[in-house]
Chain A
Amino acid sequence: MVEVVERTTSVTESLKEQNILAQQGTYSAAVEPTPKSSNRSENFAYLADPDHMIRRYFLDASLKQRILLRKIIAREAKHYNSILKILDFSRQGDVEDAYDAGVDLLAEFDTLELYDQAFQYLDAISQLVGQSSNQKTIRRLEDFWEILAKGISCAYKVSAEKRFELIGKISMGSQRRLVKTAVIDALVTIADDMEDVQPIKNFIGRYTSEHELDNSVRDYAQEALEDLE
């Protein structure tokens, strides 16, 4: 409990430092729950839980509130479970603009540490699932890989080289068309921030070779290469 209170205090102090809490009505509305108890620490504990904020971000927040919440969630999330939660919300039909909201949130993280852990988890699950005939499981994993790749490519606070490296790992996580093309899209996005685009071109070039059996992926990669010229 002490740890939670300390953490929440640090969140609140940090917000005050940014002079946001006092000035932005929408912000405080976004992060503060309706008081139900006179116990302040209980209320603040609720406030500080990144997973609660993720839920709020997807289910209750306006666009303005989402923009503000992104930065706090990205700073406060400490476990890769938060990334998995974001991926899960990002594919839900009942969440408004779920996919884009998820990508925008993932783009705010300033290191790839949690992404890397989420990648390892998904990679292990993918190997377990293997050639499963359960279409729902396959598609769920596909969605996760796809959104993770897109989110990493947009993580503007992380160097392009590091993003490139992790996308390279993700490219080996699944052989599905949706994931391969998501990797290609991610590489095109990252290319914008690379000093030397040639490694990206070489990587995408692999998908245009005869080793790639899916014509749709080959064409997609070819078009991506043309866009990079």
Chain B
Amino acid sequence: MDKSMLPSLNNFGIDAPGYIRKIDRLKHWDPENFDNLKSRAKVASERVFKPNSRNLHSLWYVETAEQFYGMVSVLSAGRTPRNQNIDFLWIDAEELDSTSIKPEPVPEGQCLFVSSLHFNAYIDPIASENLCLIMMQAGRKAQRCKEKKHTKLILEYQTERGCKATETSKENCDCEVVSL
């Protein structure tokens, strides 16, 4: 595959390095009928960081496009169909710092290249609301890795590389070949 066909981090408005928070749908960041940012942040935060009993939420640390592609293959593993929209928010590390959110590494997924880039963070409802407000004040937009335009190409590329999070027929992925 011609690698130049793949999307860059810039295509998604990502100012690396930083964290990616996968969200269920793009429009969860843009709820209707709110006349001020604070109330919009409150409603959006309840969908972006759905309240749970442990207040733990998943984040991916991304510095390069290759890492982003690995994350896409992990998030697509086991999906039906595999090529789906992946909607997400970009979060700057300073934005997490300013709300006292400290991500802890927790390996995730079959992609050897990025499994160590997965983090869990304790984010209670107040912290999530504050974080969303800061991001909205910075004009952050939710992004979409589109099913046909992006995800499909990325998964083809990852499959060619033998990524273990894909349905590849290769025995070793490129990461293993390099380390051999």
- Of chain A, the residue at the smallest CB distance from B75 is A100
- Is A178 an interface position by the 8 A CB rule? yes
Q: Which of B2-10, B27-35, B92-100 contacts A (4 or more CB under 8 A)?
A: B27-35
From B47-55, B59-67, B131-139, B172-180, give the one contacting chain A.
B47-55
Q: Smallest Cβ distance from A67 to chain B, in angstroms?
A: 5
CA distance A194 to B79 in the complex (A): 21
Q: Which of B25, B53, B81, B149 contacts A178 (CB 8 A)?
A: B25
- Cβ contact of B78, chosen from A67, A93, A189, cutoff 8 A: A67
Chain B residues, Cβ within 8 Å of A51:
none
Q: Is the CB of A216 within 8 A of B80?
A: no
- State the CA gap A91–B25 with chains docked (Å): 12
Is the beta-carbon distance between B31 and A178 smaller than 8 angstroms?
Answer: yes
| Total inter-chain residue pairs, C-beta < 8 Å | 60
Q: Mark A202-229, 1 if CB is under 8 A from B, else 0.
A: 0000000000001010001000000100
Q: Is B15 at the interface (CB under 8 A from chain A)?
A: no
Q: Tell me if A123 counts as interface (CB < 8 A to partner B).
A: no
Mostly, the B contact residues are loop
| Contacting residues, chain B, for A181 (C-beta < 8 A) | 25-27
Q: Is the C-beta of B104 less than 8 angstroms from some C-beta in chain A?
A: no
Contact B25 A146 (CB under 8 A): yes
Give the bracket for the number of chain A residues in contact with chain B. Answer: 20 to 34
- A100, B79: Cβ atoms under 8 Å? yes
Residue of A64, A91, A100, A177 near B27 (CB, 8 A) is: A177
Residue B77 CB within 8 A of the other chain: yes
A172-199 contact mask (Cβ, 8 Å, vs B): 1 or 0: 0000111001100100110010000000
- Residues of chain B within 8 A (CB-CB) of A116 are none
B53 touches A94 (CB 8 A): yes
B110, closest chain A residue (CB): A63
3 closest A-B pairs (Cβ-Cβ)?
Answer: A93-B50, A93-B52, A99-B24
